[in-house]
Amino acid sequence: MATFHPLRVAEVARETSDSVVVSFEVPSELTEAFSFEAGQYLTLRTTIDGEDVRRSYSLCSAPRDGKWQVGIKKVPGGKFSTFANDVLQAGTEMDVMDPQGRFLLKEGAGLHHLGMAAGSGITPILSQIKQVLSEDASATYTLFYSNKTAASTMFREELQDLKDRFLDRLRVFYLLTREPVDADLLSGRLDQARCKGLLETFCQGRSLDAAYLCGPEAMIMSCKDALVEAGMAEGDVKFELFTSAGAAKPKAKVVETSNANTVPMQVVLDGVTTSIELDKDKNMLDAALDAGLDAPYSCLGGVCCTCRAKMVEGKASMNVNYALEPGEVERGYVLACQAHVEGEGAVVLDFDQQ
Ligand SMILES: Cc1cc2nc3c(=O)[nH]c(=O)nc-3n(C[C@H](O)[C@H](O)[C@H](O)COP(=O)(O)OP(=O)(O)OC[C@H]3O[C@@H](n4cnc5c(N)ncnc54)[C@H](O)[C@@H]3O)c2cc1C
């Protein structure tokens, strides 16, 4: 089961004026728990102004680096990202959950991978580029990376080093939205029309085996449409959403309800089964948390998969699901923060079955 572990912050290094790279020290007894695949994320937890704040950050280091690093871009008014950029220092101990996530590289040798990232969306993609190009000498990668300005572009130097190292196998095209660029096609947002233009201009005649999208929701959805229109199978277009319109909603208010509106629920967590009454208007994560259980969660908006659990008994529907694959849903997995019971039957929800 996903669990928090106290880790020491080894370094907080400035990356751009509004982003930092935070490195964690993982003691040898935890290296197995913290082993990860390129594209996965860590959930960090701290207390800010007396409030328990937890947020997810994709690992930007590659598994083969033996490092655990995340890049955090400051969101105006954002609680955690402001804390990380302005307050967090090396030596601090922080609760970090073992790596989670399903935004993974497609398996296979000699593939041509395509990444499309905007802003901090570069983090999981950077990890994937480093991993796949180092591990597979026949893999190639094309990256389209959009930012407001050159100065606000995270990991520009590291990408340049990678380009020098993998001269024939890595291509990086920078798009800027608030600064002039020589080529019209690289000037402006990554929307469907621009994505189509980029594919026609820079990827014509090349196979596109897998695409990875990370950035704002609108960019992801429009680029996904363009890639499918260009002939890619939907299953080969993977994406990671950092936030969505519905993300980080406050927890549902606890209201007194009559028994008629509840069904019996059993929650399996850390090997222990707890029986509670599930209010049918409430999502299953809130029900577990309100019962005092320390169930794992992070975004509360169906974007990450930290609260993934298996419906062992009963039926549920999800308000939104940006994180689980169709096959996982078929096998009974739900995002507990989005799961509502369907019907009158009893429910068994297992957080331990990963
Ligand atoms: C799986 C996953 C991986 C992630 N990886 C990274 C990463 O590698 N680097 C990184 O910087 N962030 C990443 N995020 C986003 C991160 O978890 C936080 O949402 C982000 O740092 C904002 O948190 P906050 O507490 O500062 O803002 P909050 O206090 O939660 O929000 C403040 C306001 O900003 C809006 N907001 C929240 N997130 C964003 C955003 N990303 N862009 C624009 N507006 C936003 C909110 O809707 C709200 O209005 C990831 C999220 C997920 C789900």
| Domain termination residue (choose one: 241, 269, 300) | 241
Residue 300 resides in a domain: yes
Residue nearest ligand 1's atom 18 by CA? 55
For the segment 97-105, the average pLDDT, to the nearest whole number, is 96
Residue 248 resides in a domain: no
Res 237: pLDDT? 97
pLDDT at residue 250 greater than cutoff 80: no
**Domain identity same for 8 and 78:** yes
Of 236, 188, 198, 189, nearest to 217 by C-alpha is: 189
Ligand 1: does its nearest atom lie under 6 Å from the Cβ of 195?
no
Ligand 1: does its nearest atom lie under 6 Å from the Cβ of 56?
yes
Number of domains present in the structure of the chain: 3
| Domain termination residue (choose one: 212, 241, 270) | 241
Residue 102 resides in a domain: no
Res 206: pLDDT? 87
* Structural domain harbouring 172: 112-241
343: left (phi over 0), alpha (psi -120 to 50) or beta: left
Taking the C-alpha atoms of residue 34 and residue 68, their distance in angstroms, rounded to an integer, is 9
pLDDT at residue 259 greater than cutoff 60: no
Ligand 1: does its nearest atom lie under 6 Å from the Cβ of 69?
no
Which sign does the torsion angle of CA 36, 326, 300, 272 carry? negative
DSSP-based three-state secondary structure for 225: helix
**Domain identity same for 228 and 135:** yes
CATH number, domain with residue 25 = 2.40.30.10
Residue nearest ligand 1's atom 48 by CA? 78
CATH number, domain with residue 205 = 3.40.50.80
* Best residue among 75, 96, 97, 308 to mutate for probing ligand 1, ranked by most atoms within 8 Å of CB: 75
For the segment 72-94, the average pLDDT, to the nearest whole number, is 97
Residue 33 resides in a domain: yes
Res 2: pLDDT? 81
CA angle 151, 155, 159 (to 5 degrees): 115
Q: What's the CA-to-centroid distance between 193 and ligand 1, angstroms?
A: 27
The token duo for 196 is 């189509």
pLDDT at residue 253 greater than cutoff 50: no
pLDDT at residue 56 greater than cutoff 80: yes
CATH number, domain with residue 298 = 3.10.20.30
**Domain identity same for 222 and 264:** no
Q: What's the CA-to-centroid distance between 66 and ligand 1, angstroms?
A: 25
- For the chain, the C-alpha Rg in angstroms (whole number) is 21
Strand 210-215 and strand 237-241: the pairing is parallel
**Domain identity same for 37 and 85:** yes
Which tens digits make up the pLDDT trace of 131-189?
999 999 999 999 999 999 999 999 999 999 999 999 999 999 999 999 989 899 999 99
Q: Which atom of ligand 1 is nearest to the CA of 81?
A: 26
255 versus 218: which is more confidently predicted? 218
**Domain identity same for 301 and 229:** no
Of 103, 107, 98, nearest to 115 by C-alpha is: 103
**Domain identity same for 263 and 227:** no
Res 354: pLDDT? 80
Which tens digits make up the pLDDT trace of 186-213?
999 999 999 999 999 999 988 899 999 9
For residue 37, count other CB atoms closer than 10 A to its CB. Answer: 17
Q: Which atom of ligand 1 is nearest to the CA of 55?
A: 17
**Domain identity same for 237 and 313:** no
Ligand 1: does its nearest atom lie under 6 Å from the Cβ of 299?
yes
Residue 253 resides in a domain: no
Which tens digits make up the pLDDT trace of 118-143?
999 999 999 999 999 999 999 999 99
Q: Is 154 exposed, middle or buried (0-12, 13-18, 19+ CB in 10 A)?
A: buried
For the segment 36-40, the average pLDDT, to the nearest whole number, is 98
Q: Which atom of ligand 1 is nearest to the CA of 82?
A: 26
Taking the C-alpha atoms of residue 197 and residue 216, their distance in angstroms, rounded to an integer, is 20
pLDDT at residue 81 greater than cutoff 50: yes
Segment holding 129, helix H or strand E: helix 122-135
Ligand 1: does its nearest atom lie under 6 Å from the Cβ of 218?
no
Residue 80 resides in a domain: yes
Segment holding 127, helix H or strand E: helix 122-135
pLDDT at residue 46 greater than cutoff 60: yes
Task: List, in sequence order, every residue forming a beta bridge with 172; answer none if it has no partner.
Answer: 143
